[in-house]
Amino acid sequence: MAKKQALGRGLSALLENAGSVIKDKSEIKNPVVVPAPEAPIEVSETSTIGHIAGDISLVPVTQIEANPFQPRTEFSPDALIDLAQSIREMGLIQPITVRKISAKKFQIISGERRFRASQMAGLDEVPVYIRATDDQGMLEMALVENIQRENLNAIEVAISFKRLMEECNLTIEALAERVGKDRTTVTNYVRLLKLPPDIQLGIIEKRISMGHARALINIPESKQLAIFKEIIEKGLSVRKVEDLAKEDDAPKLFRPAKVILPVEFQKMQAELRLKYGKRAKIQRGDSGIGKLEIPFSTDDDLNRIIDLLGL
């Protein structure tokens, strides 16, 4: 008979020998003592739990499904391989948190990365904490726990914040308190979702930092994409991007549209310049209102113009 796959050292020994007395504690470097239950724990015929120690249960991996509210969308294959190797050698040290949705089905609240690595490691069953919650409660627990404990990228955090506000009816203030961050931080993350998809992808792929992204938020989209391209091609610093964004935000000097004089007025202007100097000009708007300018450079020049005008 094939030997049943074990969890590895640590939790497996704890679970399989729950309530047993350790005679020689010196043999264990960091012993974990779980008090034996006062009375045997009853398990119903429909229960899928194999062993129970305190609040931790062993559940077959085939009866656990992914979290539909999982905020993490990217799992590094290399990191999963490393974690799977560690689980093969040491066992799964930290239990997965799940909720029971039927007699033989559990849904992950948090710990999907550990669960995936456990599957890669070939475990038949994993240790879990079972919590009772509805869909909204599960969403909130999953999002908050992942935000606090996992290394989500900035866009995943932003999406998680937005979902918490929209689907759990939380204000920014309530959300900030729930996740242990200040209001400004929450607002800055959510504003990242206003950026074009290409820039959001750049954040996810770590091609630009959140600092770069924040500097781009308040400028027109065409300018955002142009500067984003420069960041990638030239490795611009956050300070340089902030300077470029400020240049774009600076108020533009008002420059009235140039009005083209009708042909007859262009002829008059040419005659004025021949008689009074090349800087003489006629300015006229579409409404017919305008002015005649005859500049002078010296008092003698002024007297000459006055004589020509017959004043």
Which are the catalytic amino acids?
A: 112
Token pair in block for residue 49:
């739990």
Kind plus residue range of the DSSP H or E element containing 10: none
User: Which neighbouring-strand residues pair with 307?
Assistant: none
CA Rg value for the chain: 36
Reported residue count of the chain is: 311
Phi, psi of 129 (to 5 degrees): -100, 130
Q: Exposed, middle or buried: residue 146 (CB in 10 Å: 0-12, 13-18, 19+)?
A: buried
Nearest CA to 205 out of 231, 183, 242, 224 is that of: 231
Coil, strand or helix: which one is 279?
Answer: coil
Token pair in block for residue 31:
């012993």
User: CA angle, 211 as apex, 209 and 216 as ends, to 5°?
Assistant: 100
Are the CB atoms for 175 and 163 separated by under 8 Å? no
3-state helix, strand, coil in the chain (%, to 5): 50, 10, 40
Contacts of 199 (CB under 8 A, 6+ apart): 208, 213, 216, 224, 225, 228
Distance between CA 133 and CA 249 in Å, rounded?
48
Kind plus residue range of the DSSP H or E element containing 106: strand 105-110
Nearest CA to 199 out of 184, 183, 214 is that of: 214
Distance between CA 128 and CA 119 in Å, rounded?
14
